[in-house]
């Protein structure tokens, strides 16, 4: 085919192989459908945010000269804490998040991001690649439990991410995912970030949950303890009170750095986000302190759009060409985040993203968005993933893990992640 040279392209899509595009396109379309239906984020839906400053230490032993993370530098920052799936009760067991935006002094707009870092509780993530992540979402509990029998570190990552906290400010948060550090002398290294409470007495075990089975249930459905009488959103209230107190809220920003190996096989091992780096072999470097002294309003917090692709050349996203590469988690989610944020905020999608979604197996109803013509006689926009039974159930194929169609019936998953396409499942099985 002849490429239209006038069409704006997204280099993140252009460098993907066909299978990567297929898997990520289906995942993006499915999450986009959920975003349209919920009119909100799918993950980390509710949260609380504040702003303040990052002050880097005057002496940074072990860290080569870096343009952004240089001795004595200061930056405005915004931090947003959130629950992963629980959107109505802070007492539910859930992974907790800390998204950090570092703002640039050089930009004309005060809130222009220099760098976004998305961290969470737990030293590891449960999916090494974007392909693994998509497969995990569509398979049932039995398949997941069978999988972790052969990969016990995945089980540890799931349980290790859950927290039962008394405060967002008393937890340790990890990036899990590697970024690319470029130093002034041209050297490049892999980096992982960590945020810890300023109080050194608060250890990494703060808020930990003891495993009670092979895998935890869906975290958004875990009820609070019967004797827990705290308010539903006590974590948000606690954060706001602490920020407004004389002591403010303080954290220490840490990082681990490693040289980039020459062998691709070794690079894949270092980039594997399901396995933390040994902090004895690769010790944390404490680079600075974050002080949060102002609470953002609920509206300001909701309007925040954290995205891994808000990065700079000095702290870059590592690219992937295949959905089977470890780097595909960060590279792939940066595109999914952006698409969903545009739809949530009713912004027009660039043509490259529309084509990307159109080529997936998920038929997305975008009639409620400004990028498509308004349909007549349509009272309310509705995102649907309705399919005839023979599309979902094929001889020798799979049945969706959350719905089983009978002959003559139609499945309407309404944006459920269980509706990822059969073709995608077959691709992942291959």
* Angle in degrees, CA 182, 184, 187, rounded to 5: 50
Helices 328-344, 18-38: axis angle to 10 degrees equals 40
**Per-residue pLDDT band at 414 (split at 50, 70, 90):** very low
Q: Are 100 and 195 in contact (CB under 8 A)?
A: yes
**Per-residue pLDDT band at 275 (split at 50, 70, 90):** very high
Instruction: Give the whole-angstrom CA distance, residue 161 versus residue 94.
Output: 8
**Placement of tokens 């290294």 in the chain:** 189
The residue with greater pLDDT, 37 or 179, is: 179
Tokens linked to 247: 């002591």
Q: What is the pLDDT of residues 351-388, one digit of tens each?
A: 777 777 777 666 655 555 544 433 333 444 444 444 44
Cross-strand partners of 256: 192
In sequence order, what E strands does 64-205 have?
A: 74-83, 94-103, 113-120, 162-163, 173-174, 179-182, 188-197
| pLDDT of res. 418 | 41
| pLDDT of res. 405 | 36
The SS3 of residue 82 is strand
Q: What is the pLDDT of residues 47-76, one digit of tens each?
A: 899 999 999 999 999 899 999 999 999 999
Q: Of 136, 80, 139, 100, which is closest to residue 274 (Cα–Cα)?
A: 136
Tokens linked to 304: 């925040």
Please state the rounded mean pLDDT for residues 223-233. Answer: 87
Q: Are 419 and 385 in contact (CB under 8 A)?
A: yes
Backbone angles phi, psi at 19, to 5 degrees: -65, -40
Q: Are 414 and 384 in contact (CB under 8 A)?
A: yes
Name the DSSP class of 418.
G
**Per-residue pLDDT band at 222 (split at 50, 70, 90):** confident
Instruction: Give the whole-angstrom CA distance, residue 294 versus residue 312.
Output: 26
Cross-strand partners of 258: 190
Q: Is the predicted pLDDT of residue 23 greater than 90, yes or no?
A: no
Count of beta carbons in the 10 Å neighbourhood of residue 309? 15
Backbone angles phi, psi at 286, to 5 degrees: -85, 115
Instruction: Give the whole-angstrom CA distance, residue 58 versus residue 54.
Output: 13
Say which range, 158-162, 336-340, 366-370, has the weakest mean pLDDT.
Answer: 366-370
The residue with greater pLDDT, 18 or 107, is: 18
Domain 43-306 bears CATH identifier 2.40.180.10: yes
In sequence order, what DSSP letters do the residues of 228-248 get, joined into one string?
--S-TTHHHHHHHHHHHSTT-
Q: Is the predicted pLDDT of residue 407 greater than 60, yes or no?
A: no
Give the Å distances, CA to CA, from 251 to 110, 179, 276.
Answer: 23, 21, 21
**Placement of tokens 């975290």 in the chain:** 219
Count of beta carbons in the 10 Å neighbourhood of residue 406? 8
Q: Are 230 and 207 in contact (CB under 8 A)?
A: no
| pLDDT of res. 9 | 63
Instruction: Give the whole-angstrom CA distance, residue 390 versus residue 216.
Output: 33
Q: Is the predicted pLDDT of residue 266 greater than 70, yes or no?
A: yes
- Cα-Cα-Cα-Cα torsion 406, 409, 414, 416, nearest 10 degrees, comes to 20
């Amino acid at each position: 085919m002849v490429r239209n040279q006038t069409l704006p392209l997204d280099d993140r899509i252009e460098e993907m192989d066909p299978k990567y595009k297929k898997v990520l396109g289906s995942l993006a379309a499915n999450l986009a459908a959920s975003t349209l239906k919920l009119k909100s984020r799918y993950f980390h839906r509710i949260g609380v945010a504040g702003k303040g400053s990052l002050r880097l230490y005057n002496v940074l032993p072990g860290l080569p000269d870096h343009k952004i993370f240089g001795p004595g530098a200061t930056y405005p920052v915004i931090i947003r804490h959130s629950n992963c799936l629980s959107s109505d009760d802070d007492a539910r067991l859930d992974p907790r998040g800390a998204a950090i935006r570092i703002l640039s002094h050089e930009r004309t707009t005060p809130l222009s991001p220099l760098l976004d870092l998305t961290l969470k509780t737990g030293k590891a993530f449960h999916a090494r690649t974007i392909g693994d992540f998509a497969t995990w979402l569509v398979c049932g509990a039995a398949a997941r439990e069978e999988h972790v029998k052969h990969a016990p570190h995945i089980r540890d990552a799931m349980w290790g991410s859950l927290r039962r906290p008394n405060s967002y400010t008393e937890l340790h948060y990890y990036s899990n995912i590697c970024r690319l550090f470029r130093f002034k002398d041209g050297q490049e290294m892999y980096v992982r970030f960590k945020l810890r409470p300023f109080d050194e007495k608060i250890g990494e075990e703060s808020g930990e949950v003891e495993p009670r089975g092979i895998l935890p249930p869906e975290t958004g459905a875990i009820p609070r303890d019967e004797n827990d009488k705290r308010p539903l959103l006590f974590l948000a209230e606690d954060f706001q009170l602490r920020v407004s107190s004389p002591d403010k809220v303080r954290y220490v920003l840490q990082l681990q750095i490693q040289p980039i190996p020459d062998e691709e096989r070794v690079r894949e091992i270092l980039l594997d986000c399901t396995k933390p780096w040994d902090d004895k072999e690769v010790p944390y470097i404490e680079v600075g302190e974050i002080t949060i002294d102002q609470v953002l309003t609920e509206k300001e917090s909701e309007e925040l759009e954290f995205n891994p692709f808000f990065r700079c050349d000095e702290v870059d996203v590592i690219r992937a060409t295949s959905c089977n590469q470890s780097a595909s988690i960060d590279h792939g989610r940066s595109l999914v985040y952006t698409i969903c944020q545009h739809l949530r905020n009713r912004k027009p999608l660039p043509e490259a993203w529309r084509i990307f979604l159109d080529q997936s197996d998920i038929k997305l109803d975008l009639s409620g968005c400004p990028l498509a013509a308004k349909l007549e006689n349509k009272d309310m926009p509705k995102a649907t993933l309705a399919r005839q039974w023979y599309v979902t159930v094929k001889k020798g194929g799979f049945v969706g893990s959350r719905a089983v169609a009978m002959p003559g019936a139609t499945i309407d998953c309404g944006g459920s992640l269980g509706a990822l396409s059969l073709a995608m499942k077959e691709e992942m099985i291959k």
